[in-house]
Amino acid sequence: MKKLVKQVRFEGKLWDLSIENGAIQEIVETSSTNKDISTYDAEGLLYLPTLADMHCHLDKHFLGEPWRPLQPFITLPKQLKFEKEMLSTMQSSLEERAMILSELMLSHGTTKMRTHVDVDPEIGLKHLEAVLQLREQLKDVMEVEIVAFPQQGLIRSNSVGIMKEALRNGADLVGGVDPAGLDRKVESSIEAMFELSSEFDAGVDLHLHEPGHLGKYTIDLVTDYTRQTKKQGRVAVSHAYCLGMLSDAELSDTMTALREENVSIISSVPIDRPMPRVETLLDAGVTFKLGADNIRDAWSPYGNGDMLHRASRLAEKSGWVTDEQLIKAYSFITNRSLTPKVGETADFMLVDAQNIQHAMASIPKREAVFSKGKLIFGEEKTLNSEYISR
Ligand SMILES: [Zn+2]
């Protein structure tokens, strides 16, 4: 069905978007009304493209559950044991909790997510099956990428076999975590990830918390394997704290390799840890994206699933104040054009802000979220009569 969304603001003017088959067909300055088609009046609210959360965990959080007290992080193996114990006490099912977080994300305007999903020989494909079901349920409104994630360590937990099962059953990417700190076998861990990625024609996304030169060495291996296996554009390193711990001179070759092999860096903007220097990445031409990561889980009680909030945190932490910097920050949380384009999928949200930079600074609530032209969050509104009479 054809839909008209009227009085959407961008570039300082009001526009009408005509939408058909989920895509924007026409963009005209607001002037008159067409009563023959379904109409939504944006009443001058600002157009923003919907958001992409490139690093989340649908299977770890406690949303919808009674509050669970946490313990301070001690070591990674101890934390992994604690997480398993916590997750075994959940009252709601994995399916229910995956949907709770996805709905929260949709309400904030996130229509694309990359979720890591735990797999290991003990839990098997239980988490993956729940997330595959959710992906099917949300297929009309949300793009869901699934990373098979050997949280207990790919080699350490003997997870190569179950990773193959996960990739055979619908996971899109090969995950991994701390090849030194957890697996204690950097080369063979990275090699195993890329062998899986080649066998199943899958992307790669590695959780890397390793510090300093150890982290840099690991990233250099990742870019080497990306080159060898021709996986350019399909590999990411999440967190990469090490890129915030070494000097630009020390990282120069690593940055060049990241750009040349088109390996992207994904950050959750940690406040209490080092993070990659974004300007250095951008100057080097490296792709950079954001994810919310932990949201009220065994690792952190914080987080609200709002990627606009996350980008605003990055901008504030980085001391960015200019319009150019604030607009740039928005590009890390969307995979769409900042203003509507004819022929693009009609994925956008409406907020009460003057422009993108104002929205970045004020984090307004989402008044409406449209996915493929369908209003998925917010009140259905019809054209107000005051506007018609003018
Ligand atoms: Zn993570």
Cα of 229 from ligand 1 centre, angstroms = 25
Q: What residues contact 89, with CB distance under 8 A and at least 6 apart?
A: 68
What secondary structure does DSSP assign to 314-342, as a single string?
HHHHTT--SHHHHHHHHHTT-SS-SS--T
- Provide the pLDDT for residue 1: 75
How remote is the CA of residue 55 from the centroid of ligand 1, in Å?
A: 6
The alpha carbon of residue 230 and the mean position of all alpha carbons in its chain are separated, in whole angstroms, by 24
pLDDT of res. 2: 86
Residue 352 burial (CB < 10 Å; 0-12/13-18/19+)? middle
Residues 6+ apart with CB under 8 A from 196: 160, 163, 164, 167, 174, 202
Which of 1, 21, 12 shows the shortest CA–CA distance to 343? 21
Q: Which residues of the chain have pLDDT under 70?
A: 32-37, 381-390
What pLDDT is stored for residue 271 in this prediction?
93
Cβ atoms of 137 and 102 closer than 8 Å: no
Q: Beta partners for 52?
A: 112
CB 258 within 8 A of CB 284: yes
Span from the CA of 76 to the centroid of ligand 1 (angstroms): 13
Give the position of tokens 């993070």.
275
- Looking at residue 125, its pLDDT comes to 98
Q: Six-digit token pair at 221?
A: 């291996």
How far apart are alpha carbons 276 and 23 in whole angstroms? 36
User: Rounded to the nearest whole angstrom, what is the distance from the C-alpha of residue 291 to the centroid of ligand 1?
Assistant: 9
Q: What pLDDT score was predicted for residue 382? A: 54
Separation of 2 CA from ligand 1 center, angstroms? 40
Q: Which single residue is written with the structure tokens 């060049």?
A: 256
State pLDDT tens for residues 251-275. Answer: 999 999 999 999 999 999 999 999 9
The CA distance from 72 to 22, in Å, is 46
- Which residue type does 137 have? Q
Distance from residue 127's CA to the centre of ligand 1 (Å): 15
pLDDT of residue 380: 72
What's the gap in Å between 48 CA and the centre of ligand 1?
27
pLDDT tens figures, 313-361: 999 999 999 999 999 999 999 999 999 999 999 999 999 999 999 999 9
Instruction: Copy the structure tokens of residue 171.
Output: 């996971």
Domains and CATH numbers, the chain: 3-50+338-389 (2.30.40.10), 51-331 (3.20.20.140)
C-alpha 12 chain-centroid distance:
29
Beta bridge partners of 203: 173
Task: Write the CB contacts of 68 (distance below 8 Å, at least 6 apart in sequence).
Answer: 62, 86, 89, 298
Instruction: Determine the pLDDT at residue 384.
Output: 43
pLDDT at 227: 98
Q: How many angstroms does the Cα of residue 272 sit away from the middle of ligand 1?
A: 16
**Residues flanking ion ligand 1, Cβ below 5 Å:** 293
Cα of 372 from ligand 1 centre, angstroms: 28
